Structure 1
Amino acid sequence: MTASDPTSSAAGTTAEIQPGQYGAGATGQPLCDMACGAFATTAATGPEPVDFEGHVLYSASYSHYARRVLLARPELPGIVSAAAAQPLTRAWMSERLKALQEPSADMEESVKRALRRLRAEVMCVAIERDLRGHATLAEVTGAMTDLAELCIQHGLAMLGDDLAATYGRPVGEQSGEVQELVVVGMGKLGGRELNVSSDIDLIFLYDEDGETAGGTRSLSNHEYFIRLGRRLINLLADVTGDGYVFRVDMRLRPNGDAGPLACSFGMLEEYLVVQGREWERYAWIKGRVVSALDTPHAERTAALLARLTTPFVFRRYLDYGVIAAIRSLHAQIRSEAAKRSGGLAGHGVNQRSFNIKLGRGGIREIEFMAQVFQLIRGGQDPALRVRPTLEVLAVAVDRGLLPAAQAAQLCDAYRFLRQLEHRLQYRDDAQTHHLPTTPEEQLAVAQMMGCADWAALTARLAALQEPVAQQFEATFSDPDASPCEALWPGLVLEDQQARTTQDGPDQSGPDTEVSPCQRLQDAGFTDCTGLLDRLRAIATSLRYRALSESSRVRFDQLVNRALDLAARQKDADSTITRFIDFLEAISRRASYLSLLSEYPQAMDRVAHTLHASRWAAAYLTRHPQLLDELLDSDALAGAPDWPAFRRRLAERLLAADGQIEQQMDILRREHHAETFRILLQDLQGLLTVEQIADRLSDLADAMLEATLETVWRQLATRHCDTPRFAVIAYGRLGGKELGYASDLDIIFLYEDEHERAPDVYAAYARRLITWLTSHTAAGSLFDVDMRLRPNGAAGLLVTSFDAFRRYQLREGDNTAWVWEHQALTRARFCAGDAAIGARFEALRDEILRQPRDAAALRDEIVQMRGKVAEGHPNPTPLFDLKHDRGGMVDIEFTVQYLVLLHSGTHPQLTRNAGNIALLREAGELGLIDAPLAVQVGDAYRQFRALQHQLRLDGQGQARVPAEQVAEQTAHVRALWQAVFGAG
């Protein structure tokens, strides 16, 4: 077999189970107790335990292998009996290895013998503890993994010393450092879940080329490591009178059997970039250095290996193309398993040769379902890069990718199958995953699983495997991609042929065939000529011609589906235009084409989104990575969990610490995704305008907080661990009335007596603005407006709290204007140091409650309202919802006037509760007519809803026919007249 053969059992990967973490039921029982009943109860119907001169052992009665080993070594029953009283540990193995290694002139032979005898002892203790129900699955797999690592590391140390006598040590030609063989454990070994008769899949690597030094002869490093690797394989796999330690499989190395036994990191990197196959990505998920890591060189090379393999395994984008790849790989593996078992694998648990690993509902299907989450999303979410299958499933539940009930079914089946796998292998120390065929073997295995008979075991097995198989088939089934009517690309080809045949001078009159344009019209499109021109342009474009064959097939399917979905909408022409813009934008991203091909429901939701809103269509086209959000039905219906969102965002930013570009992209992707979820709920009519604004404001607060923390960690000039720095929100963010594309009106305050504080916080503020406003590969985050800081654009970027207090309280020559106090009515602390935030809120309350002259204040606000109107002229006959008289600005200025004038006697007005609530409060206090206050509040709500809808429709100016809002504007004008006495 070569490295390109994905059907080998070595090509797949399995799960990591950390000691003590998994393998027991919810009550802490061993898995055999969860299966068919307590082992001790059913064991009475099976063979009697064997008594070795007072050492009573179940292992000898159920395992032919254990019985042979125990009879061959008279001292072994006592060792096993004593060791079985405690969990297996690496420390115990190390002590036993020292005791077993005898002085000898042939050190290699002595080590061979000691390792094989150690393996026999570990096996017998594991079998004994497991069959007595004392060992969890994690203990058994962890013990076998510890044994493999101990043997590899002990063997490398002995063989290295032996080779040094002749060749010295390998030295890097660039660094001059002594080089070490880097042994990478793949598959079960890499995942720390070796079964009791598992092969170990290894890859041998080294860092630098060079030559050995210090010996009587010299070898190139390449030759040295190949020689060392061969001797290590022989040490572990050679069958002697004491058996073997582990079978070693080297076929996962670059180029498989055709490649060199040991390769350099440079060779590995080139191979992964140029030749790395899809199935090798699955294998490298589990890759882990298993040679000694207690030297600086070893730690450095392990980190280098991670940097080489992580980009190969985990794509930076959402990689839905892996679904089809895993589907294909699984089909090949299932076919190969069927051939090996006479065509019966996968037909059911009662078939004579059913394979619990590769068969339907088997171990491999559970592993694939975990790996699909890792491969699709692991590039963006480091939490999914863990190795254990059960841990991956737990992360998937935590991230909302997998329902908890489905994950529980998969975990129960996985634990059961892994325990059953061990019992099949305990019998004869054979690498088997096939159920037994003889009644005697069947009964023994059933009893080992705690079941009374074979029928009870197979019934339990079937009950666990069927949900696994159903989930697997639902995940990896090939969706029906055929459209209702295949209009593309055949339609354009027909059009081109018709144009060619009509070029001759003897052609006259229309075609008797239905024209392509007519077919589009019949499908439901009005502007069929424009649509046909657009489709023709795509067919002849370089972008379309440059697509790979698989991408073109998917693109063609999606265009047909888009035509079909758009034709069902009332505005089919505008919907298909948006659809084509979107599909062209994603055409070069195979993963997005794969997602829409694999998940028809996502395509349906795309159609709804594109139809519902021009702004939403443009947003999705700019950020196609948001397609992933269309698959999460729960997230599309539920309210945001902001504490969980903040934790998840902090985890991802911390995992990318020091990688500025990646962290900026993380912030943008998370913000876009959460915005899109709000948008989708909005388009479904699930949210009011107030709820949308609240959620967008809460999201902005969370993004600001995360950015503050991340940028401070990056700041080289920082003088303390936590900045005494706060962000104050004004305007729409301050009033929690943020829209989808609103700027952030913010200012920065600090309170810090350190002598370097002004310079440090100024640099910090500049960096913050850069992080918030820069356009990266993931798009933009926010536009920021800092003009509301003291002295506006001419003022300092960041202000000390004391200077801000004096400015606002008008102490000294440099003082705030009335309009700046107006702005304070919609200001609030939103991120940063909570103590500064509390002081700001207290100061705001103090300022708003200052006594003011009613006439002077009225004149100032009326004058300011006039300036705002002059700055926003409206030459159209339409009514501008925000700026025209009788609109939103009139309402806002009226509320601000009432707050500034009356808060001294009515402190409840200082609450930043929003214009509608403050109007109602003012009406209830008798400051304005109460019924009119309610009517104006309703008008404000109506204006905001209309403004919101117009923005979703892609209109830059929020203007409507005046008669549409005549009643509302009349109420607003009446209130303005009552308060200000002016028109």
Structure 2
Amino acid sequence: MTSPLAPAIAHSRYLQRLFAAQPALQTDTEAQLQQPFGREAMQAMLPPDADDAVLKPALRKLRQAVMARIFCRDLLGLAQLDEVIATVSDLAEVAILAALDCVTRPDARHGRPIGEESGQPQQLIVVGMGKLGGRELNVSSDIDLIFVYPEDGETDGPRVISNHEWFARAGKRLIALIHDVSADGFVFRVDMRLRPFGDSGPLVASFAALENYLLTQGREWERYAWIKGRPITAGEGLGAEAAGLMQLVTPFVYRKYLDYGAYASMRDLHGQIQREVARRDMADNIKLGPGGIREVEFIAQVFQLIRGGRRPALRIRPTREVLRELAGMGQLEALTVTELTAAYVFLRNLEHRLQYLDDGQTQMLPSNETDRALIACNMGYRDWPAFMSGLDSHRATVARHFEQVFALPQAEGDAVHPLAGVWLGIADGQSGQVKLAALGYRDAAEMERLLAAIAQGNRYQTLADKSRRRLDALIPPMVEVCARQANPDAALSRILRFLDAIARRESYLALLAEHPQTLSRLAALHSASAWVADYLHQHPILLDELLDARLLYSPPDWPVLGAQLRAELALHLGDTEAEMDVLRHFQHQQVFRLCAQDLAGQYSLTTLSDHLSDLADLILAVTLERAWAELPGRHREQAAFAAIGYGKLGGKELGYGSDLDIIFLYDDDHPDAAELYAKLARRMMTWLSTTTAAGALYEVDLRLRPNGASGLMVSSVAAFEQYQRENAWVWEHQALTRARFAAGDPAVGQQFEAVRRAILSRRRETARLVEEVAGMRDKMLLTHPANPDDVKHRRGGLVDVEFIVQYLILNDAERLPALLANSGNIALLGVAAAAGLIAPPLAEGAQTAYRRLRELQHKQRLDGNPPSDAALAELDPYCEAVRSLWRLVMG
């Protein structure tokens, strides 16, 4: 007689193996087939008060029984998705609670953990995250857990240990009871990586430790993860403790207002999906691939993250319930929710049928014809092509809604701006010059032309209706705030170009619309600097920086920022592309903040250059650390390796967009050191120079290394010293005057500085030195003529000052060691004057010229315009002092 389970067994090799090994289980499954496997029945299969040795096999036998029945009920059409995920979630909770009871019983040796403040016994709270938290587990899912307990303290037994140690031991036992594989298999794979500090963090945390972590270390992605966090508890008093835990977590997850963190999270999560689906092996993954399960979940959870602070009704966990709530709130259209729900059910049913084949944790479509036929049949299709047509339809629906939600977040506030008529009139071909002139625009006709060009442009004309309405709402207030700037015409022209560029990036338009305080800051920056306008154009994600003036204008604390950067990189270990993007976002963010602070008048040029140089040093240091950590074959924990800065980096005179002139040195007698550090240098160059989706970091120039472009990429300190003593040209010693240790092993940096001082202190023949230095200056003039408006190369300009200082160091450092300090050209001119090497009046004139010329160069960088004749004329007396000093020093 054919078994009623035959169709299910035919689909599942797991069932075939299981029933072949346990015929009695097949008999029991047939007998109970018409009944769902309820929670009470699960509990009845577990022996009461069992120890680890008894409970461990019992839990595995329970899993086999539950999976056998739910596999068969689903495949035979007796169970819907709700029953499947509820049954598996019940199994997980029953197993966790049974294991929790087993591992937290007081023992004669240690007693019970007692709270140091309350004096009451403490209990371990198991937090289910992810699909377990949402009671949406699939049949082969792992379970994401976090272990917390209310209070620190000590146990009350004969041998006292801390509560933390007691609960850590209990947590390890709980994991073993559920996760370990034995002859009977396992219950669930346990994943603890969502706990504070991930794999590197402690296994358990007190309420206080968790709260401190969330306040000081909690990342945006952790807000997302905790949306589904749910305490799994049973027992007297634990309900109140669980409620206390969620009161602690809720303010971290759900912010009171729509804030920049929510939007940053939204973009990060969207980027995460894009990176995953871009991987070649993810196209057939129904969870991570285009239009997959993850995208449905993200649609629901992104709205929770952004709006859950204002809408407590959104603080629910199951995905379909969230979608229904969003429809009720009007955040998603009813048809959208219907389509997403249908696709979600289809995909989850398909996910289970993929996993039923071998009880495998997979979401990949099969590649062999046998499994394809099984999947198509059990999904209700006649063959694989018909099934794929249905699947593709659902995935296209999900992908379409996903793009709409992420590209078109909801805006708030539809008040009509007083200047809306002006913009809409110009868009319709009417003149707005009179009103624009009244607002203060100097060339109202040109401003009208630019506005009309936007309105009549192809980008605006082809925008989706919502995007066009958003832009229509943004342009009038933008016209108003630009008119209040010192340079209104430049501000509006630059900002219109920016708006046109981001018009299709609805999330940026939404950010501006929902945070009107950003408009004035945006206009002020565009008015003040063409460079910052271009920078924001290249990196529109930096709009987030405008949302919080405290952060935007807060001076950098580089040690703190470095720790934050390293912590963020630690979240992406093993994903080099993601780490490179983190570095780029960080660097762009800091440069943008420094520029905003610079334009606000917070810094002198010297201080700004110090900050930009400190930022470059930090990027070099972190890049070296990450490149070394991922380098195969390394033979030591820390690389005996250093990056040496030359030029503007060496002199701490970096400006916006400056290149980095560096060389690489090492001091390591390992036989493979040269090859290994060459690989490290190449990897660092890749990290520093590659343009990724997040943009670029720095242009890096290595031509100042020994033997220039034809030389080795890295040198040992000994080889570098030998080259400098025996083979280096005078111009290379000139370059050495501005070199300094920038990043890496401080010991190597100290050795470099010793070599530098020794080389620069050598006795030189003055006449020969004059000839060499002057000759090099003449060669520069062949490629960079001394044009009067070129503040760097003009006679009496920046290069002349630098050459004078370099000459003084090379000629006089032997008897005046103070010249060896890498303290900048202005300070070294003062040292030379104080020692009587040059006349103080000429030194003061050269110092003023250098300072003013650098400021003029910096202003030119920000404005994008050459210095005016008036500005250059004002500097002529000081440049003449430089020329006089040149004639005096260089003969």
Per the normalisation by structure 1, the TM-score is 0.55
Q: How does 1:552-631 map to 2 (within 5 A)?
A: 552-631=468-547
Distance change in 2, residues 1:230/1:944 (3 Å): closer
CA contact (8 A) 1:222 1:263 kept: no
From 418, 422, 425, give the equivalent of 1:491.
Answer: 425
- Residue 785 of structure 2 corresponds to 873
The answer to whether residue 828 in structure 2 is matched with residue 918 in structure 1 is: yes
Whole-angstrom CA distance in 2 between matches of 1:519 and 1:371: 36
Residue 775 of structure 1: SS of its match in structure 2? coil
Q: Give the counterpart of 2:810 among 900, 918, 937.
A: 900
Structure 1 residues 299 and 728: CA distance shift in structure 2, 3 A: farther
User: Hey, what does 2:263 align to over in structure 1?
Assistant: 376
**Residues 488 and 362 of structure 1: CA distance in aligned 2, closer, same or farther (over 3 Å):** farther
- Whole-angstrom distance in 2 between the partners of 1:836 and 1:234: 56
SS in 2 for 1:879: coil
Superposed displacement of residue 942, structure 1: 0.7
Q: Aligned pair 1:642/2:553, yes or no? A: no
Measured after TM superposition, the shift of residue 556 of structure 1 is 1.8
- Find the aligned partners of 2:136 and 2:745 in 1 and give their Cα distance: 58
For 1:752 and 1:966, how far apart are their aligned partners in 2?
52
Specify the code of the residue in structure 2 equivalent to 1:831: A
1:282-302, Cα deviation, whole Å (9 max, x unpaired): xxxxxxx99975246777685
Which structure 2 residues correspond to residues 338-417 of structure 1 after superposition, within 5 A?
368-369=254-255, 375-378=262-265
Question: Does the CA-based 8 Å contact 2:433-2:448 persist in structure 1?
Answer: yes
Deviation at residue 821 of structure 1 after TM alignment: 0.6
The alpha-carbon distance between structure 1 residues 893 and 233, as it changes in their structure 2 partners (threshold 3 A), is closer
Cα separation, partners in 2 of 1:970 and 1:656, compared to 1, 3 Å: same
Partner of 1:797: 713
From 656, 663, 682, the counterpart of 2:579: 663
Classify 1:107/1:972 alpha carbon distance in 2 versus 1 (closer, same or farther; 3 Å): closer
- 1:130-529 matches, within 5 Å, as 161=61, 164=64, 169=68, 225=84, 228-229=87-88, 263=138, 293-295=178-180, 302=191, 368-369=254-255, 375-378=262-265, 482-487=416-421, 489-495=423-429, 515-529=431-445
> Per-residue deviation at 1:754?
1.6
Q: Aligned runs of 1:698-717 on 2, under 5 Å?
A: 698-717=614-633
The answer as to 2:647 corresponding to 1:731 is yes
Give the 3 Å change call, closer, same or farther, for CA 838–957 of structure 1 in structure 2. farther
Inter-partner Cα distance in structure 1 for 2:191 and 2:456: 49
In structure 2, distance between residues paired with 1:570 and 1:212: 70
CA drift at 1:962: 4.4
Distance 2:136 2:250 in 1: 28
1:970 is matched with 880
Paired residue secondary structure (2:743): strand
Contact 2:422 2:435 in 1 (8 A): no
Contact 1:678 1:692 in 2 (8 A): yes
| Deviation at residue 959 of structure 1 after TM alignment | 8.5
* Aligned partner of residue 723 in structure 2, secondary structure: helix
Superposed displacement of residue 109, structure 1:
6.3
Unaligned runs of 5+ in 1: 1-105, 119-149, 171-180, 182-208, 237-249, 269-288, 307-317, 327-356, 386-410, 412-475, 499-514
Counterpart residue number, 2:840? 930
CA contact (8 A) 1:882 1:958 kept: no
Contact 1:879–1:961 (CA under 8 A) maintained in structure 2: no
Could you say if the C-alpha distance between residues 363 and 108 of structure 1 is closer, same or farther in structure 2, counting changes exceeding 3 Å?
A: closer
Counterparts of 2:465 and 2:878, CA distance in 1 = 58
Residue 859 in structure 1 maps to residue 771 in structure 2:
yes
Task: Say if 1:581 and 1:816 are closer, same or farther in 2 by CA, change over 3 A.
Answer: same
Match for residue 837 of structure 1? Answer: 749
Q: 1:860 to 1:959 in 2, by over 3 A?
A: farther
- Aligned-partner residue type, residue 879 of structure 2: T
Structure 2 contact 624–744 (Cα < 8 Å) conserved: yes
Cα drift, residue 570 of structure 1: 4.2
Deviations 1:888-929 (A, max 9, x none): 111111111111111111111100010000000100011111
Query: Could you tell me the percent identity over the aligned residues?
Result: 40
- CA 547–856 in structure 1, closer or farther in 2 if over 3 Å, else same: same
Counterpart in 2 of 1:944?
A: 854
**Deviation by residue 1:234-279 (Cα, 9 ceiling, x = unmatched):** 989xxxxxxxxxxxxx9x989x9xxx9865689x9xxxxxxxxxxx
Q: Answer yes or no: is the 8 Å Cα contact 2:553–2:596 preserved in 1.
A: no
Cα deviation, residue 157, structure 1: 8.4
C-alpha separation in 1, matches of 2:570 and 2:766: 53
Letter in 2 for 1:725: F
Deviation at 1:670, TM superposition (A): 0.6
Code of the residue aligned with 1:368 in structure 2: it is: Y
Larger Rg: 1
TM-score by length of 2: 0.60
The 8 Å contact of residues 168 and 212 in structure 1, kept in 2 or not, is answered as no
Q: Residue type of the partner of 1:816?
A: A
Matched position secondary structure for 1:816? coil
Q: Is the 8 A contact 2:649 2:660 kept in 1?
A: yes
**Equivalent position amino acid for 1:621 in 2:** H
SS of 1:676's equivalent? Answer: helix
CA offset at residue 655 of structure 1?
Answer: 1.3
Q: Pick 1 or 2: higher relative contact order, CA cutoff 8 A, min separation 6.
A: 1
Task: Give the whole-Å Cα distance in 1 for the aligned partners of 2:637 and 2:89.
Answer: 52
CA RMSD of aligned residues (A): 4.8
Q: Hey, what's the Cα distance between the residues in 2 that align with 1:881 and 1:732?
A: 16
1:290–1:377: structure 2 CA closer, same or farther, 3 Å change rule? farther
* Structure 2: distance between partners of 1:168 and 1:485: 65
Deviation at 1:586, TM superposition (A): 2.1
Partner of 1:891: 801
Question: Secondary structure at 2:655's aligned position in 1?
Answer: coil
Which residue identity does 1:941 align to in structure 2? R
Once residues 949 and 539 of structure 1 are traced to their aligned partners in structure 2, the CA distance between those partners, rounded to angstroms, is 33
Query: Offset of 1:229 from its aligned partner?
Result: 4.6
The corresponding residue for 2:199 is none
Q: Which residue identity is paired with 2:643?
A: V
Cα deviation for residue 577 of structure 1 reads 1.1
- In the alignment, residue 870 of structure 1 is paired with which amino acid? L
Contact 1:919 1:937 in 2 (8 A): yes
8 Å CA contact retained: 1:156, 1:232 = no
Matched, 1:781 2:700: no
**1:553 Cα deviation from its structure 2 partner:** 2.8
Q: How many residues align?
A: 607
Structure 2 counterpart of 1:848, from 760, 780, 783: 760
Task: Provide the rounded CA distance (Å) in 1 between the counterparts of 2:613 and 2:799.
Answer: 20
SS in 2 for 1:796: coil
Q: CA deviation at 1:693?
A: 0.7
Structure 2 residue 733 is the aligned partner of structure 1 residue 821: yes
Deviations 1:517-544 (A, max 9, x none): 4443343334444433433333344433
Alignment of 1:685-704 (within 5 A): 685-704=601-620
Q: Hey, what's the Cα distance between the residues in 1 that align with 2:604 and 2:866?
A: 21
Deviations 1:8-59 (A, max 9, x none): xxxxxxxxxxxxxxxxxxxxxxxxxxxxxxxxxxxxxxxxxxxxxxxxxxxx
Mapped contact 1:922–1:928 kept (Cα < 8 A)? yes
Q: Distance in 1 between matches of 2:63 and 2:738?
A: 77
Q: CA–CA distance in 1 between the matches of 2:617 and 2:865?
A: 27
CA distance in 1, matches of 2:187, 2:63: 19
| 1:487–1:300 distance in 2 versus 1, CA, 3 Å | farther
